[in-house]
Structure 1
Amino acid sequence: MEQLPVFVYGTLRSGQRNHGLIGDRVAQRFPARAAGLGLFGDRIPFALDRPGQQVVGELMVLAEAQYEAAMADLDRLEKYHPDRPGDCLYLRVRRPVDYLAENGEWAETPAWLYLTGQAARGRYDENVPILGGDWVAVQTG
């Protein structure tokens, strides 16, 4: 597997309930956004392809020595089965993500992110988006 950073936009973000799964294995984190996606859901967020929209999150650079184990844990949490895509709650995909670099400028990098899979149908309402694409703002607002 290509060792890319991971873009997280929901319960894996800093301060959210699933962040502890990878929190101690993150070497660096940056504010980030993914263009062309919309966010839906209430208890858990689901990202879907939506031109003209964006999802707000964090870019997590995982520690190299713990990368494989962290990705395996993420795949389990997201119910991602590469050999059974129809059974996946989320699909892990490689996408470009913009992040706020240490120099204060926005930059683009490829990253792994989890998009909504077929097994998630019925768990969200596409007519009720998370406005602004920011799960944490909705949870704390």
Structure 2
Amino acid sequence: MERLPVFVYGTLRSGQRNHGLIADRVAESYPAMADDLALFGDRIPFAVERAGQRIVGELMILADRHYEEALADLDRLEKYHPDRPEDSLYVRTKRSVSYLAANESWADVPAWLYLSGPAARGRYDENVPILGGDWVAVQAN
């Protein structure tokens, strides 16, 4: 399996309720964005393909010694079944994201991120957009 950083946009972001699941296994974290996606949801966010839109999140570099364990925990949390993606609430996919590097410039990198999966369709309301694509900003209001 390719060892990519993970882009998180909702409850796994710093300060959010599920961040503790991976916090001690994150070696580095950077502000990040992903293009051509939109966020929807009420209690939990889910990302869907939407040309011209952008979501805000964090790029998390998982510590090498915890990588496989952390990714497996994320897959369980997101109800992603690699052997049965059609039954998955979210689907882990490789996608280019932009992050704010230490030198204060934006850079693109491939990362894992979880998109809304087939099992989420009809379960969550796509009529509840998360305006601005930033789950944390919406939760703060």
Same fold (TM over 0.5): yes
- 1:130 is matched with which residue? 130
Matches within 5 A, 1:1-141: 1-141=1-141
1:66 is paired with a residue whose SS is: helix
The count of aligned residue pairs is 141
Identity fraction in percent: 74
1:33–1:54 CA contact under 8 A, matched in 2: yes
For 1:129 and 1:123, how far apart are their aligned partners in 2?
Answer: 15
1:41–1:123 CA contact under 8 A, matched in 2: no
1:114 is paired with a residue whose SS is: strand
Structure 1: give runs of 5+ residues left out of the alignment.
none
Structure 2: give runs of 5+ residues left out of the alignment.
none
2:31–2:100 CA contact under 8 A, matched in 1: yes
Letter in 2 for 1:11: T
* Deviation (angstroms), 1:94: 0.2
Q: RMSD of the alignment, in Å?
A: 0.7
* Deviation (angstroms), 1:127: 2.4
Letter in 2 for 1:63: A
The runs of at least 4 consecutive aligned structure 1 residues that moved more than 3 Å come to none
For 2:15 and 2:71, how far apart are their aligned partners in 1?
Answer: 19
Letter in 2 for 1:13: R
Normalising to structure 1: TM-score of the pair? 0.98
